[in-house]
A and B are shown apart, each in its own frame.
Chain A
Amino acid sequence: MTKKRISQALLIIILTLGAITMLVPFIWMLSTALKTAPETVKVPPTWIPKHMQWQNFVTAWHAAPFLTYFINSLIVTTVTTIGQLFTTILAAFAFSRLNFYGKNFLFALFLSTMMVPGEMLIIPNFVTLSKFSLINTYGALIIPWLASFFAVFTLRQTFNAIPNELYYAAKLDGSSDWHFLWTMMVPLSKSAITAIGILEVIGSWNSFMWPLIVTNTAKVRTLPVGLNAFTSDAGTQFQLLMAASTFVILPMIIVYLCLQKYIIAGISKSGLKG
């Protein structure tokens, strides 16, 4: 009994420490966003600002065209996610159910691309896009992310778990491959597809490096790039940067809180992490 209690207590302590570690950056961000400029660099640091500087949020919002950035982020994230889900579902179905020449070779080839680090692809992708004169357009922000083999691989595993008999039954009942995919496979893999979608939404919304490289005007820039506005040669205005960060990540926190059930289910089901 006592042994059980001790292990229970230990578990709670470890989990609490983990949760605190995760939360500290967010709390620090909020706290900094409400400080005055001198207070942000004060030693020792203060957790609760002496005077709450609510106007920091207003100043930050007007410091750069955040409304444009916000709309751009929204467009890029939506199109990327929908497009990626579409290609993922089709590719996963092909790899899971169809028989075609070179299927295994192709799959191995795609799988090997997962070993190439993302940074390696920045230059070739940039060169390709510039040859198509797509730099500084939505195209540059969207097209490279329309396919993700990680997503294909995850979904293929989910599709493979659906019994073959269901496929045969649907075929005998007169369903085409296309129809079977959208009326059977997709509804049955709802949680995996939702998880893949959410991971892509978060990834796309938070993406910084790529949009920074392929855009050079405010017209097509996204929110994370906009945060750069607070850093200049003269230094960084931390309180404004943190205020802006708060409203940049707010939509994602809301999305995550609403859909966390699916994210956890999708990840634990496919046995993969995002």
Chain B
Amino acid sequence: MSKRRQYNNLSAQIFLVHAFQYLLTIQFTKGCFIVDVKFQNVSLAYDNVNNILNNISFTIPEGQLTCLLGPSGCGKSTTLNLISGLLSPTGGQIFFGDQNVTKKDALARKVGMVFQNYALYPHMTVLDNICFPMKMAKVKKADRLKRGRELAALVHVETELSKKPNELSGGQQQRVAIARALAKSPSILLLDEPLSNLDARLRVEMREEIRRIQKETGVTTVFVTHDQEEAIHIADQIMVLNEGKIQQFTTPNRLYDQPDNLFVAKFIGSPIINTIPFANVRDDFKAVVPTRVFSDGVTVAIRAESIVPATDPHDHLTLLPLSGTQVQSNRFGRETSLSLNYGGHTIIADGFREQDLGRNGKPLQFALRPQGVFVFNQSGERVWPETIATNVSPIKPTEVIHA
């Protein structure tokens, strides 16, 4: 698809882009009202026993891409189905804008949905698939074919219109599914793990595509995933869910820089954040943490890139110097991974260059950066640092990891 387009000359491309954007502003402001989604004390229980969702309230802002992120069984797909109307809550209210939609069914809520397996109608052509919601809405044939073609162009499947879904690649099926979901000018676009059936490379490509389509259409989008990296790359804000409760709901970088609790800290970021029982290393932190934290702290968590050599040029920014024992070091292309024994635990550091490494089994001096080090209390809540000024760090940790 993109290869074919490379051969077009630049001016034609620019013209097309402008023409296209013009088209979009016409198409997507017409009949499409962009709304926010509000949950007020929503609960869902099966058989009045198992609480899938427990009294949750949030607002998904309009016109943005929001990710619902969490491990399987955390309630993220349930939340999505509650938004779509395929499930009804056992308690609480759901609003689209000012409208209470709690009692409305899926059709009346006018949501577009993309399923994990795309759920394309196998016996219909691509164009018929895209046009189906409009056919159901009794849009005139000429109008719906015209709009079907426009949507196909938006998602770049305009050359596949007469094919059946099983003749398409996974990425193309995905695009068709998105076009079909957009066909009824939905107030909200819902995507349920849309990338999990694609291979790694295509997944990255499609996530950029979804981002682009969302930006161009401006439709409020909710994206469910269990992949934290995917969520960080695609979302305007992320809601982390676990065991039917919202753990934290904020922007991707804030989620990474200021996790509210141990669950979020561990769930976001790769490699997984190092955790050490605070009791083992309490004395090392005596100088930097307040007395209250000194007694309340149960777990200290340190991001791998926050562990730096003691001789780091950013020395003036380091939090405190520490010493441990080098266990093992590996280099994977441009990454290094260093295992350290510190406080009786093996922790991973990836901020070391090869020349900073010592010998395995020998003591190693290192330092901690001020950001990416957190102390959590017994119930897993962050007790230190209490608030983090966002512009302290000259290097944003997310950029270090995911550049």
Contacts and interface: CB of A to CB of B under 8 A. Distances in A.
B341 interface: no
Contacts of B84: 172
B291 to A, nearest CB: 55
A169 interface: yes
B133 A173 contact: yes
Interface residues of B, number: 20
Contacts of B106: 168, 171-172
B107 A165 contact: no
Interface string B97-127: 0000000001100011101110101110000
A175 B132 CA distance: 9
A130 B2 CA distance: 74
B26 interface: no
B133 A165 contact: no
A169 B115 contact: yes
Nearest to B117: A165
B76 interface: no
B107 A172 contact: yes
Contacts, number: 49
Given A188-B122, A188-B123, A172 B111 contact: yes
A44 interface: no
A184 B120 CA distance: 11
A163 interface: yes
B121 A184 contact: yes
Interface string B185-211: 000000000000000000000000000
B1 interface: no
A187 B125 CA distance: 13
Given A173-B132, A173-B136, A174-B137, A165 B115 contact: yes
Residue among B107, B113, B121 with the highest chain A CB neighbour number at 10 A: B121
A165 B173 CA distance: 15
A127 interface: no
Interface in A149-166: 163, 165-166
A184 B137 CA distance: 17
Nearest to B183: A173
B136 A169 contact: no
Interface string B73-98: 00000000000101000000000000
Interface in B353-373: none
Residue among A163, A166, A174, A179 with the highest chain B CB neighbour number at 10 A: A174
Interface in A54-103: none
Nearest to B107: A174
B121 A165 contact: no
A174 B133 contact: yes
B131 to A, nearest CB: 10
B144 interface: no
Interface string B168-196: 00000000000010001000000000000
Interface in B113-163: 113, 115-117, 119, 121-123, 132-133, 136-137
Interface residues of A, number: 15
A169 B136 CA distance: 12
Contacts of B115: 165, 168-169
Interface string A163-204: 101101111111100010000100110000000000000000
B79 to A, nearest CB: 15
A169 B113 contact: yes
Nearest to A167: B119
Contacts of B121: 166, 169-170, 184
A165 B194 CA distance: 13
A171 B86 CA distance: 9
A15 B242 CA distance: 60
Interface in A178-237: 179, 184, 187-188
Contacts of A188: 122-123
Residue among B86, B119, B132 with the highest chain A CB neighbour number at 10 A: B119
Residue among A168, A169, A179 with the highest chain B CB neighbour number at 10 A: A169
Nearest to A168: B86
A221 B340 CA distance: 93
Interface in B232-256: none
B193 to A, nearest CB: 11
Given A174-B133, A174-B136, A174-B137, A169 B123 contact: no
A175 B180 CA distance: 14
B47 to A, nearest CB: 14
Contacts of B111: 172
A179 B113 CA distance: 19
B117 A172 contact: no
Nearest to A187: B123
Contacts of B116: 165
Contacts of B137: 174
Contacts of A187: 123
B117 A173 contact: no
Contacts of B113: 168-169, 172
Closest 8 CB pairs of A and B: A174-B136, A165-B119, A173-B133, A169-B119, A165-B115, A187-B123, A166-B119, A172-B106
25 contacts: A163-B119, A165-B115, A165-B116, A165-B119, A168-B113, A168-B115, A168-B119, A169-B115, A169-B180, A170-B132, A171-B86, A171-B106, A172-B84, A172-B111, A172-B133, A173-B132, A174-B137, A174-B184, A175-B132, A175-B136, A179-B136, A184-B123, A187-B123, A188-B122, A188-B123
Interface of B: 84, 86, 106-107, 111-113, 115-117, 119, 121-123, 132-133, 136-137, 180, 184
Interface of A: 163, 165-166, 168-175, 179, 184, 187-188
